[in-house]
Amino acid sequence: MIDEIRKIIEDFSGLLNKITNKEKESLSLDIKVLKREEIKLSDELKEKVSLKKTQLLTEKRLIPTLIENYSETSKNIFIKLLNKMKIFRLKKWLKNLNKNLDGLAEKSFRKIKKKIKKMRKLYGNLERNYDSIIEKRVAYLHKSRKIVNKNIQVYYGAVGEEAVIRELRFLPDSYTVFNDVNLSFSRSIRWKKYNEYVKSCQIDHVVVGPSGIFLLETKNWSAKTLRTARFTPHHQIERAGYIFYIKAINLFRRKIPIQNIVVTLGRVPKYKHQYVQQLTVKELNAYILGKSIKLSSNEIVRIENWLRHQI
């Protein structure tokens, strides 16, 4: 998904041309298939009409003989009347054959003719509306571009989180990474340090291992955005750290050491904060592995089991 969004942002015109050409190939193929089917049905119709004409001509040659047979006199009045009706019908049929042999032959194959007509209409509409059909087929790309541009910050955030996840995969197997962790209280509690009330938080990544617990807030921000933002990611992760800390005390009945980290992707000035460490993606793993805090294997298992229920 992120790769698709990246293509829309970085090379929309190239992506549009690529998809447009594919749709043109697909539509042209549809038209060719319909035309081939129409030719096939037309050839089938010609063959069947030719056979039917041969059959009708045979019938035409037999009609005079039939008329002659029915013209023989009979003493039975009813049979005479019946024969006259048959002769009338035969003469009428002969007249029709002489007048419209081709039309009578084709009349037997109306269904095929309807199919041929439908095929012609279908590919005719496709050819006439070729450009507008292509525009409709690629309209979703323009719509996607508008949505992406409207939510560009969400995309940059996702790119940042993806980069952090890739980096954390290089940690030893003794470390476990939890992504998108949500914690909440049943009711708001007072955070005395800032005289504010907190109830819930969302943490981008939580790393648990022998060197401690690390809460990560990823920000793919520019220096200007970091400088002018209404809130700092440092305060955001400190707030999450406070909620995590209270939760951990309630669970383990002792203080659990927690490290709050803001991870940045771009070149941004470091924002000094007493309880939050600001690191680049490349500095992250070395910092985690370099901590001297040690958690027992039993504590790590308990913390990991608890966190699995928070995702």
276-280 and 196-209 as β-strands: parallel, antiparallel, unpaired?
unpaired
Q: Residue 161 domain-assigned?
A: no
Say how far apart CA 228 and CA 221 lie, in whole Å.
11
Q: Residue 167 domain-assigned?
A: no
In this structure, the answer to whether residues 40 and 128 fall within a common structural domain is yes
In this structure, the answer to whether residues 33 and 137 fall within a common structural domain is yes
Residue 218 vs residues 13, 105, 157, 212: alpha-carbon distances, Å:
30, 79, 7, 19
In this structure, the answer to whether residues 10 and 126 fall within a common structural domain is yes
H or E segment at 117? helix 110-128
In this structure, the answer to whether residues 91 and 178 fall within a common structural domain is no
The residue with tokens 């089991």 is 305
Indicate the number of domains in the chain: 2
Q: Residue 135 domain-assigned?
A: yes
In this structure, the answer to whether residues 102 and 201 fall within a common structural domain is no
Q: Residue 165 domain-assigned?
A: no
In this structure, the answer to whether residues 135 and 187 fall within a common structural domain is no
Q: Residue 177 domain-assigned?
A: yes
In this structure, the answer to whether residues 144 and 178 fall within a common structural domain is no
In this structure, the answer to whether residues 52 and 126 fall within a common structural domain is yes
Say how far apart CA 138 and CA 20 lie, in whole Å.
7
User: pTM of whole model > 0.85?
Assistant: no
Q: Residue 155 domain-assigned?
A: no
Ranges of H-type helices in 1-109: 2-10, 12-70, 77-99, 101-107
Per-residue pLDDT of the chain (311 residues; tens, 9 = 90+): 556 666 667 677 888 899 999 999 999 999 999 999 999 999 998 998 889 888 888 888 888 888 888 787 677 778 778 888 888 888 888 888 888 888 887 888 888 989 999 999 999 999 999 999 999 999 988 888 787 676 655 555 567 778 888 899 999 999 999 999 999 999 999 999 889 999 999 999 999 999 999 999 988 765 555 565 566 888 999 999 999 999 888 887 778 889 999 988 877 777 788 889 999 889 999 999 998 877 888 888 988 998 988 76
**Which residues constitute the domain of residue 80?**
2-148
Q: Residue 153 domain-assigned?
A: no
CATH, residue 188: 3.40.1350
In this structure, the answer to whether residues 9 and 142 fall within a common structural domain is yes
Which amino acid is it at 217? E
In this structure, the answer to whether residues 9 and 57 fall within a common structural domain is yes
In this structure, the answer to whether residues 179 and 293 fall within a common structural domain is yes
Last residue in a domain, options 148, 181, 204: 148
In this structure, the answer to whether residues 65 and 123 fall within a common structural domain is yes
Q: Residue 261 domain-assigned?
A: yes
Burial 4-29 (b: 16+ CB within 10 A, else e): ebeebeeebeebeeeeeeebbeebee
